[in-house]
Amino acid sequence: MATTILAPTRATATVLEVDYSNSIPLVQWPSKNSRPDPRPQSLLNPGQTLGNGLYEGQDVGLSRLRAITLIATLTGITFVGSMSGGLLTIGLPWIAADLNLPDNLLLWPASVYSLANGCCLLLAGSIADFMGNRIINLIGCTLLCAFILACSVAESGIQLILFRAFQGIATSMCLPTAFSILTDTMPAGKRRNIGFACLGLGQPFGFSVGLVFGGLFQGSSLGWRFGYYLCTGITAILTVVNFFKLPKDKPREPFTLQRLRSEIDWVGIVLSSSCLGIISYVFAVITDNPSNIHRPENISLLCSATAMIPAFLGWMSWREKNGKSALIPNSLWKNTAFASICVMVLLSWAVLNGTETILSLFFQEVQELSAIQAALRFLPNVLIGIVLNLGTGLLVHRLHANYLVLVTTVLSAGSPLLLAIIDPQWSWWYCAFWAVLLGPLSADVIFTVANLIIADSFSAKTQGLAGAVFNTIAQFGTSIGLTAFAIISASVTQDSDYTDKSSPGALMAGYRAVFWTCFGLMMLASGIGAWGLRKVGKVGLKQE
């Protein structure tokens, strides 16, 4: 499978190769003297094939209002899902006390969401490519609304964990289909770039808003449940809007069991999802208590997951050689840009989520601030996220992607560096403010650039899978990062000279080690980007 060059001239050439075999031309005249259907698009039946070979929704004449509505609703769903995670993160102590959640399960409401989400993304993306993005997205939105509401009325810690797991499954149906819907309905160019940027904004922006609102609700009489009621209401509204406004899918072949069996790489899905799920589970267990790594069942699970990696690669090779559909063809990894951006996504998400989590603990456990005071200190993160994502969407086609990614990654490395040298007694404006401001730069820019590169690396028939690949890598990076940082922090704290291992000084020793680790990982990401994206020019250019 080849990939696509977006640039028409030498000055904007990229390393990606051209393959138009599976693409749908923006203009395809049936004959020399033919003309496009003169009727306004609004008079055509939904999903009807147009006279020039297009289907409704892919027409380059998509109105601005409809494009804005589409981007807003798709982004809104990712925003609400992440917002519920932010509410949980900042309010976990109160939630645990209210639901009598045991200490050994304290991290599971957050971990099980990522676990379920990461395991189901590739399956959801593949099913969406087969059945249609609209129906899968609407099912995901409906389930997301139902399980956020269920979280708000949970009466025990076990119920909350189960509802968060189902919420992760629902989100896995929304994320890749949102990516695919934007790719299908908007031709390459500024509008699609802005759409991808907004999708990138939805997740960190929602999480940050959840942190702030969670602190506000805890500081008032509303309580943590009100935040979930609010998320439920927003999700319900967005679901209704999506039902009426999501474009019809492009025509597909009739559904048959034979097609379902042959066109979806079920073995690849089982191998990849099982491997990622097992690793994520073991990481979550280790995060709770690092000594759990020595338990026989965890060692056995890790060995099984490790064996699945070469099995998956071998299966992909066999599928490719025999001309069958492969989940993630091995040939894609030969594309330096694709491989590099995937590694950068993994590292950036690990550092971003790890840094924000440890920074929240730093504010509350070391500086002994209240939840609302800690939440308000993340406001610069929200503001810079809005400006940066929208700016990236508007300008990415004008700038060389390799320079854009490299500069922002180096700047983001300054965030953990500042936190590694911080004195807890210093004013927030000295280091913490700048660290919060610089932290999301790399992840926000890489999200947009990675989506553009990955969209061009997959055929038009596998766009849902393309979105799933990106989000799976991001989720896996988050799981690895949180686990590794929890182990580093706990180990350094236990080995510190402080008698009271729960004192601010002992905790800060562990946090400081994590920040130094994050700085090293961001510099590694910078090096990978400088080498792997060195031949990538401008991406997201309008196709002529």
Q: What is the predicted pLDDT for the residue at 518?
A: 94
322-327 long-range contacts (CB < 8 A, ≥24 apart) are 324/262, 324/265, 325/262, 325/263, 325/264, 325/265, 326/265, 326/268, 327/122, 327/126, 327/265, 327/268, 327/269, 327/272, 327/465
The structure tokens listed for 350 are 């690990």
- Kindly list the distances between the CA atom of residue 145 and the CA atoms of 276, 323, 411, in Å, as whole numbers in the listed order: 26, 40, 37
C-alpha 191/C-alpha 226 separation (Å) is 36
SS3 541: coil
C-alpha 308/C-alpha 376 separation (Å) is 44
Angle subtended by helix axes 504-532 and 463-495, to nearest 10: 140
User: Around Cβ 517, how many Cβ atoms within 10 Å?
Assistant: 20
User: Around Cβ 543, how many Cβ atoms within 10 Å?
Assistant: 15
181-213 b/e with 16+ CB inside 10 Å = b? bbbbbbbbbbbbbbbbbbbbbbbbbbbbbbbbb
C-alpha 193/C-alpha 390 separation (Å) is 9
SS3 55: strand
- DSSP assignment letter at 395: H
- Kindly list the distances between the CA atom of residue 436 and the CA atoms of 114, 166, 248, 485, in Å, as whole numbers in the listed order: 23, 31, 41, 18
C-alpha 227/C-alpha 193 separation (Å) is 31
461-474 b/e with 16+ CB inside 10 Å = b? ebbbbbbbbbbbbb
Read out DSSP for 230-286? Answer: HHHHHHHHHHHHHHHHSPPPPP-PPP-HHHHHHHS-HHHHHHHHHHHHHHHHHHHHH
Tell me if 238 sits within 8 A of 80, measured CB to CB. yes
C-alpha 84/C-alpha 144 separation (Å) is 11
C-alpha 449/C-alpha 427 separation (Å) is 35
SS3 314: helix
C-alpha 347/C-alpha 336 separation (Å) is 17
SS3 293: helix
- pLDDT lower than 70: segments of the chain: 1-62, 104, 219-220, 288, 393, 396-397, 455-457, 459-464, 466, 537-544
C-alpha 180/C-alpha 303 separation (Å) is 35
The one-letter amino acid code at 15 reads V
Tell me if 156 sits within 8 A of 193, measured CB to CB. no
SS3 49: strand
Listed residue (344, 345, 346, 377) closest to 359, CA to CA: 377
C-alpha 507/C-alpha 510 separation (Å) is 5
C-alpha 311/C-alpha 323 separation (Å) is 18
pTM of the model: 0.74
Phi-psi region of 47 (alpha: psi -120 to 50; beta: other; left: phi over 0): left
C-alpha 394/C-alpha 185 separation (Å) is 18
C-alpha 71/C-alpha 347 separation (Å) is 27
- DSSP assignment letter at 362: I
C-alpha 308/C-alpha 314 separation (Å) is 10
Q: Is 65 exposed, middle or buried (0-12, 13-18, 19+ CB in 10 A)?
A: exposed
Q: What is the predicted pLDDT for the residue at 57?
A: 39
The structure tokens listed for 301 are 């699970």
Q: Is 38 exposed, middle or buried (0-12, 13-18, 19+ CB in 10 A)?
A: exposed
Residue 49 dihedral angles phi and psi, to the nearest 5° = -75, 130
Tell me if 152 sits within 8 A of 172, measured CB to CB. no
The structure tokens listed for 101 are 């959640």
H or E segment to which residue 325 belongs: none
Domains of the chain: 64-250+260-532 (1.20.1250.20)
98-120 b/e with 16+ CB inside 10 Å = b? bbebeeebbbbbbbbbbbbbbbb
